[in-house]
Amino acid sequence: MSSLPSRAAVTLWLAGLLIAALILGLRGEMATDLGRFMPDPGAEAGLPLDVDAGPGARQLLLAIEGGDAARRATASDGLADALREDPAVAGVHNGRGDFDPEALEAILDLRYLLSPAVTPERFSREHLDTAFAERRDDLSSAVPTMPRELIPRDPTGELLELGERLRDPFGDATRGQHGVWTDPAGERALLVVRIAPEAAGLEEQTELLQRVDREFTALAADDLNLLQAGPPAIAVESRERIRAEVTAFSLAASLALAVLLLVVFRHPHPVWLAAIPLGSGILAGAAVVTLVFGHLHGIALAFGITVLGVALDYPLHLFAHAGRRAAARVAGELWPALVLGAGSTALVYALMAATSFPGMAQLGLFVLTGILVAAAVTRWVLPALLPRGARERGLPEPRLPLPSLRPRGQRAGLGLLLVAVIAALAVLLSRDPFPWNDQLTALNPVPEEAIALDRELRDALGLPDVRHLVLIRGESADAVLQAAHALDEPLEALRDAGAITGFDHPARILPDIVTQRERQAALPERDTLAEHVERAVRDHGFQAEAFTPFLDDVERSREMDPVTPDSLPDGPLRQALEPLLLAPGEHSAAGHERAWIGQVLLRGLSDAGAVSQRLDADAPAGGAEIGLVDLRATTEAMVADFRTAALTRLALAALAVTALLWLLTRDPGRSLRIVTAVAAGLLLTTASLLLLGIELTLFHLIALMLVIGLGLDYAVFLGRPGAMEPDEARRTRRSVTLCALSTGLVFALLALSSLPVLRALGLTVALGVVFSYVAALLLARPVNPSPTPEAPGPGPGLLRSRKNPTP
């Protein structure tokens, strides 16, 4: 390659990197919600699911332990007061004064439309007599149920009724002797923190948890300890554990790889140059996915970078072959094999990119782009980046012991390989059903102790089940509220039957318009109510004129416009409604972007089948669609769907790659050897995992995709026509051995991780490297014997090669 094409290649490469960086900087959006990676399995049934919008997704659970009960209660009150001032917090509840009437003054004017107790009997002489007796007791009590200043406006106690509705989700919580929530044993003070929607991101939650720790440290004694649980705490701990282990293992792997390359090449340039094709591929893949999809999902990025690990082999092939030769010429000689290997791998992911499965399409496009860019950078850019001396005279000959493989040993090895493959097939066929593990616990990096703490605190507080909920979809908010209201009767029947212990839904906070109109109709005319009040106050020592505000409020409520989600004022009722009623734009339900979503929470669910059957039998007529959703089962179905789609695409890709190999090589024997080597490596790796008692997860599948790419790379290079000659065979075996050693070293380190995701990736790829390398080596065509001076017909070139062999 002349200097001008080299400069042109580097210029185009730099321009491409700049464009990719601009795309990511200006349009880059990193998605993290599962609903944008996997299709919505509930959509076909008309029940969209937005996992991140669940009412419990923003619920932080806190427990204070240590010290005595009084100090725990004091710390609970202090922490609750401090967190209520935090803009990222929508509400804090610790059992002390939760939902007291003073906090409900913002909705005082709306109480007769919202209170479930409003009926014609509510304003009868008999009921008013009872109500005034209770208010008289409040005046003489040291701890009144209603503040004295509200008695003239609300003698019937509608605010208390609304407070009970708000307290209902925590109805099973234990209130200790000091008035705050405790666990049943009384050894922990408990709090529930509801995070504001605008602070629902992982970064914002991380910062909030840090502020919670600081506030607690500032006010608590040394003998008190704060525990955090709930989805926000679990998500933050999960990310921190992953980040810590990934950082540690990345540093260890990078150091080990750098040492290996320095030992092999005795030169620093291969160490940093080897990362350029892979880095370029990652940047280009991220930019192309962002352009096509408008965002890049974090899962696709993480999996894509893992699968793109095969691109690290490309520069190593170049460096290992370049010994004392011009790098540009060597890159040209290797280009046909590089095209064959990279093209075959790219074809696999091109088929994935063509699927309608959003996450798989992103993963396929990312890897497809990255592989092609990495191969092109290795071919045209990398030689030009070498210093002038290395570019023209090559690098030092790599020092790496090579396996000795004589024809007799190769034939014996092939026999052993055949036996191993047959045994592997037997292992796979004997597993019925195949041990796929789609459970989220298999993918969860959080320790079991954290999950157990979350479950323990949730049970102590009587919080709704986070696994099951009833979803309602309607064309308007009122349609959803009407459907939720109609569920009261079947849900109460289920509670009476013991299938659930309680429930909550948006219509218990904000009634539908029809129900509000019925309550308005139950309000008496002013004259009638005034007469009833005058008679009721006589026996309880009140003056009738003191209750003029009560008469004014009732009269005004008779003509008031119904309350809607938009007109509901800020305060505890609005905060309670927001997670239960999602407006269009507040959820990511594919195909239902204009729908309103209502969520019915179930407490103490013991019989999901009975709930589902009752809902099917008694679902209210109308435009809304209702169904019970098992969040865990639904998410596991997403994982299973991804796995099934990936396996289907891989099967199609195997056929396409076989056809491509034959088309490019025009050598059926070579194509068959390559495909057989890849299949053998894949079979032996999978069977080994099963023999180790491992159930395969989504992470194992992603790792097996990388094994396919590595197997193709090894088999293609070892099967090059030029690799049959002794000198070139040594260089090729050395380059493939170096690739296998470097990849195996990195992933063997990952296999030591305590995190399921890293351990699965590490162990699978490490095994895959060994089996794919051995299979490719055994299935390569035998090397032509080295000529000797007595051998007939040795050409002068061969004689020179024999006198000065490449080490």
**Which domains are assigned to the chain?**
1-31+266-399 (1.20.1640.10), 52-234+449-575 (no CATH), 409-434+667-807 (no CATH)
Residues in the chain: 807
Structure confidence at residue 51 as a pLDDT band (50, 70, 90):
very low
Helix (H) or strand (E) holding 227: strand 224-229
Q: Can you read off the two tokens belonging to residue 38?
A: 């996997």
Contact 189, 176 (CB under 8 A): yes
Are 472 and 483 in contact by the 8 Å Cβ rule? The answer is: yes
Query: Helix %, strand %, coil % for the chain, to 5?
Result: 65, 10, 25
Distance CA 558, CA 522 (A): 9
Which helix (H) or strand (E) element contains residue 239?
Answer: helix 231-265
The pTM (predicted TM-score) of the whole model is 0.79
For residue 647, give the nearest of 704, 706, 715 by alpha carbon: 704
CA–CA dist 346, 664 (Å, integer): 14
For residue 296, pLDDT beyond 80 = yes
Predicted local confidence at residue 147, as pLDDT? 80
Over the chain, what is the mean pLDDT? 85
CA-to-CA dists, residue 555 to 109, 153, 520, 529, angstroms: 11, 12, 10, 9
Q: Tokens for 424?
A: 């592997």
Q: Strands 468-474 and 625-630, how do they pair?
A: antiparallel
Give 569's pLDDT tier (boundaries 50, 70, 90).
confident
Residues 588-603 have pLDDT tens digits of 555 566 789 999 999 8
What's the mean pLDDT in 769-796? 70
- CA atoms 481, 486, 492, 497: torsion sign: negative
- The first and second tokens of residue 568, run together, are 């509901």
**pLDDT surpassing 50 at residue 797:** no
Cα–Cα distance measured from residue 238 to residue 229, given in angstroms and rounded to the nearest whole number: 12
Contact 766, 760 (CB under 8 A): no
Taking every pair of C-alpha atoms in the chain, what is the biggest distance, in angstroms? 133
CA distance 270 to 273: 5
Which of residues 770 and 329 earns the better pLDDT score? Answer: 770
Tell me what pLDDT residue 571 has. 75
pLDDT tier, 784 (very low <50, low <70, confident <90, very high otherwise):
low
Separate counts of helices (H) and strands (E) for the chain = 30, 13
* Closest to 564 measured CA to CA, from 66, 110, 21: 110
pLDDT tens-digit profile of 525-541?
999 999 999 988 888 88
Residues 685-705: pLDDT tens digits? 999 999 999 999 888 998 899
